[in-house]
Chains A and B, each alone.
Chain A
Amino acid sequence: MSSNRPDDADERFASEAGRRLRESADGLDAATLSRLNRARQAALAEYDARGRPPAWLAGGWQPALGAAAVAALAVALWIGRDPATPAPAAQEARGDAALDLEVVLADESLELLEDLEFYDWVGNEADPGSEAGPGLTG
């Protein structure tokens, strides 16, 4: 016989313990039962929000809506394609975006962000269209 096999006394004890624990659970105070009820209602509200079919589905419109959605998707894909844009240009644009991201994530850019107003001012002053360089206008 396995040492894990409970004997009759163990079984009686466990059975009695289970009975008392269930009785205790059934005899919870009103405040606790109220909280449990609110918890259940919150869960059911979540159920309603996630599971209830939309009202517009109640009229048997699903086949027509499905066909319309497929047609709309096909039209959108057809119109959305741009044959004038060559693939290398698109790749270049993606490369620029990656470079921008790298610059933004570089350590130096954090310092730049801290003095953003200052560098903005420097950039404006260094613009050839500006009337004077930094520090010359007083």
Chain B
Amino acid sequence: MPSTSLVLSEALPGGAPGARREEAFLADRAAMERFLAGIERRAFQAARLAVRDRDDALDIVQDAMLRLVRHYSHAPESEWPLLFFRILKNRILDHQRRGSVRRRVLAFFGAGDDPDDDYDPIAAAPGPRSDAPDLRVALDGAMGALEQAVAALPARQREAFLLRTLEGMDVAQTAAVMGCSEGSVKTHYSRAVHSLRATLGDHW
């Protein structure tokens, strides 16, 4: 039997429980939209540097968004960044694994032995926003060189570097996303910075 105060409280201004639930839903939805809008560009940047393909990176980001909403929208908002980047990392890993398997299968059946067989100079010509590394460097100078160098890092070093510098996560948060110890994060991050400084010496 609900208490009188409880019954009265539901009759007070503020609406019925259903209406309050709808308000809460809309507030949570707005929070999710703000979060996704605030994170999507950097997520795309991280994915593109990892898979080196704009369209694949967009697909990966969309998949990560959907999975976050599907599985973790009821998690506390403060946990969304870690959950999202953990999902994003796994989607990137899946993409790279599928690419690796595809290459092995093609190699097994003899495809891809001679990359010039199917070379189409028109299809290979860079577009106005091409990710072709040489054009990017020419267009963007130091920025292109940085992106190229980050993309060339080993996966774990790149993850640690981007989560720390692009996302601004601390060591503990980065370790949570990467699923490793804080010591490993420090090691990967340190090696990434040293490698990038060595590579970009002429540009920076």
Contact = CB atoms under 8 A, between A and B. Distances in A.
A59 B183 CA distance: 54
Interface stretch (A40-48, A78-86, A89-97, A129-137): A40-48
Interface in A1-19: 3-6, 9-10, 13-18
Interface residues of B, number: 52
Contacts of A20: 142-143, 146
A57 B29 CA distance: 18
Given A13-B193, A43-B36, A43-B66, A58 B22 contact: yes
Interface residues of A, number: 44
A57 B17 CA distance: 9
B193 A25 contact: no
Given A53-B22, A58-B22, A59-B18, A39 B196 contact: no
A31 B129 CA distance: 10
How would you classify the secondary structure of chain B's contact residues: helix, strand, loop or mixed?
A: helix
A36 interface: yes
Given A60-B18, A62-B17, A40 B65 contact: yes
A47 B27 CA distance: 12
B187 interface: yes
B135 interface: no
A21 B65 contact: no
Contact of A53 (B18, B44, B66, B161): B18
What are the 8 closest A-B residue pairs judged by CB atoms, nearest first? A58-B18, A18-B165, A39-B62, A43-B65, A25-B45, A25-B41, A4-B186, A36-B40
B44 A28 contact: yes
Interface of A: 3-6, 9-10, 13-18, 20-26, 28-29, 31-33, 35-36, 38-40, 42-44, 46-48, 50-53, 57-60, 62
A16 B200 CA distance: 13
B65 A42 contact: yes
Given A13-B193, A60-B17, A40 B146 contact: no
B165 A39 contact: no
B168 interface: yes
Interface of B: 10, 16-19, 21-22, 25, 28-29, 32-33, 36-37, 40-42, 44-45, 54, 58, 61-62, 65-66, 68-70, 73-74, 129, 142-143, 146-147, 150, 161-162, 164-166, 168, 183, 186-187, 189-190, 193-194, 196-197, 204
A106 B143 CA distance: 64
Given A32-B54, A36-B58, A58-B16, A22 B65 contact: no
